[in-house]
Chains A and B, each alone.
Chain A
Amino acid sequence: MEVIHVEAKIPTRMGDGSLVEMTRSELKADLEEGTRVAAQKAKVPELTQDELDHLLDIYASPARFAAVDIGDEVVMSNDGSGTKHIGNRVQDLQSYEQVLGVDIIELWQIDYSYKATKTNVAHEGQSMKIAQMLCTNPVQYGAMPDLGRYSKPDGPFDNWSELLPQGKIQEARDAQLQAADMLVDDIAFVADHMVAAGADGIDFDTTGAAGDADFLAGLRACRALRERYPWLGIEIGMASEFVLGMHGQIEFDGERLAGMWPKDQLRMVQQAGASIYGPAVNINTGKSTAWNIARAITFIKPCMEIAEIPVHVNVGMGVGGVPTCVYPPADATSRASKAFVEILKIDGY
């Protein structure tokens, strides 16, 4: 009688959060493919065999939760702290500080952009002041640069997304640069008020979401704030692993921003004077979390060779190896966190 060996199935997740079962061999194949795809795309080295073996141990475990070793804990900087539905906003922050143990908590408003915050800055500042009285951990203020808000119909400038398909390239470029100028001013306006209210830092969340002009505005705002406030915490969290060339010719310190991967993004962020850099690698929902984590780590690994400031990887819904679903499962988030800390030696997330 022939004996057929069947590999055990291990519960794991897909990029959309669905719980599936894969064999150890299948997970291994996904890890190898994930790093290969990333290496080809960004022209960076694939992960080493040791790193892939380590990732396989993490992702082939059936444990409900994964964690780092005692002593290897990192800093948690939590953009958008709170749920917005637990008590008032400051109590929400206190719950994240005291119950969840978040190290750097963030005050923010639901219309999460600097353009929107500008109109409400006095009350945002008052909430910051109260938060600073009641919290012990650093409290930063966060919002998105969100350059698209400055284009019509939401903003004053022509909509470059509409101009580009019409072939109006120069008009589209001009509109983006004008919008970037206004965004830099708005970030500075909000930051000045938050500093006056006692803020420990400012967070630019999803920088580069609207492409290279969006990234430029973040870098310029950072540099201006650094000159005014040498002590201020400035966190630049990115939107994607790749800076999209919506303009295509924008430069910062003589370097073209379009097409930058995490290592070059970090160089620009460091040059601009930021305190923390947050790379973001978007999830492929059709692939396993193993595939996604190998891809994400491959993209980010070159950063760690040159990092002079803390690197806090964005590990959350749809980024950093965490599935794109409303309630990210702890088995996926903890595996991703453990993988980033142990493979890349990141400073936080």
Chain B
Amino acid sequence: MTRRMRLKEAKQYVAGKLGCTTRDLSDPVAMEQIRLEKGLGTLPFTSSVHPDDAGMIEAKFNIAELLDIPINCVERFKKHARL
């Protein structure tokens, strides 16, 4: 969205930043580990909750830094929380 990349380029960019393959990006088994390790947020389900891991707005802080992209709500959070 923010860099207007075509899909193939976007997948390669993200995979590069995450240190995984483009195929891993759509693999829920691979992505669960990656998301937990890097604080990118996971889906809370009956059999899987991580209340002490980054999620939602917290995850977006990490996503912005890891992918080196501006995320509007992150910047506004910092501004409003006077960080």
Interface size on B, residues (CB 8 A): 27
Interface residues of chain B, those whose CB is within 8 Å of chain A, are 1-2, 4-7, 10, 22-23, 26-27, 40-41, 43-44, 55-57, 59-60, 63, 70-73, 76-77
CB within 8 A of B7: which of A129, A275, A347? A347
Q: By the criterion CB–CB under 8 Å, are A275 and B6 in contact?
A: no
Instruction: Give a binary string over A239-282; 1 marks a CB under 8 Å from any B CB, 0 the rest.
Output: 00000000000000000000000000000000000111000000
* CB neighbours of A71 from chain B (8 A): 22-23, 26
In the bound assembly, the distance between CA atoms of A232 and B34 in angstroms comes to 27
A348 cross-chain contacts in B, Cβ below 8 A: 7
A63 CB-CB contact with B under 8 Å: no
Chain B residues whose C-beta falls within 8 Å of the C-beta of A224 in the assembled complex? none
Known: A98-B43, A133-B57, A199-B72. A347 touches B6 (CB 8 A): yes
Please judge, given known A-B contacts A200-B71, A276-B1, whether A70 and B7 are in contact too, CB under 8 Å.
no
B72–A231 CB distance below 8 A: yes
- Name A's interface SS: loop
Check A307–B56 contact: CB distance below 8 A: no
In Å, the complex CA distance between A231 and B71 comes to 9
Residue of A nearest to B58 (CB): A136
> B40: shortest Cβ distance to chain A, in Å?
8
Cβ-defined contact, A200 with B73, below 8 A: yes
Enumerate A97-118 residues with CB–CB distance to B below 8 Å.
98, 104
Question: What is the bound-complex CA distance between A124 and B60, given in angstroms?
Answer: 21
A→B interface (CB under 8 Å) = 70-71, 73-75, 98, 104, 129, 132-136, 138, 140, 195-201, 231-233, 274-276, 307-310, 346-348
Residues of A within 8 Å of B40, CB to CB, are: 136
Is the Cβ of A200 less than 8 Å from the Cβ of B1?
Answer: yes
Partner of A132, one of B41, B63, B73: B73
- B7 contact set on A, CB distance < 8 A: 74-75, 310, 346-348
Cα(A158)–Cα(B55), bound, Å: 51
A309 and B5 CA atoms in complex are apart in Å by 6
Given contacts A75-B7, A98-B43, A275-B4, contact A136 B55 (CB under 8 A): yes
The answer to whether A195 and B72 have CB atoms under 8 Å apart is: yes
B6 neighbours in A (Cβ, 8 Å): 307-310, 347
Q: How far is A233 from B69 in the complex, measured between Cα atoms in Å? A: 12
Q: Report whether B41 and A138 are in contact in the complex, using a CB–CB cutoff of 8 Å.
A: no
Q: How far is the CA of A228 from the CA of B60 in the complex (A)?
A: 23
User: Is there contact, CB below 8 Å, between A231 and B41?
Assistant: no
Decide: A135 near B56, CB < 8 A? Known: A195-B72, A310-B6. Answer: yes
- CB contacts (< 8 Å) of A307 on chain B: these are 6
Cross-chain contact B2 with A198 (CB below 8 angstroms): no
Q: How far is the CA of A232 from the CA of B73 in the complex (A)?
A: 12
Instruction: Report the minimum CB–CB distance from A108 to chain B (whole Å).
Output: 17
Set of chain A residues within 8 Å of B22, measured between Cβ atoms: 71
The minimal Cβ–Cβ distance linking B63 to chain A, given in whole angstroms, is 8
Bound-state CA distance A310–B5 (Å) is 6
A200 — which chain B residues lie within 8 A by C-beta?
1-2, 71-73
Give Cα A195–Cα B71 distance, bound, in whole angstroms. 11
With contact pairs A136-B41, A231-B2, A233-B2 given, residues A70 and B23 touching in the complex (Cβ less than 8 Å): yes
Given A71-B23, A73-B26, A104 and B1 contact (CB-CB distance below 8 Å): yes
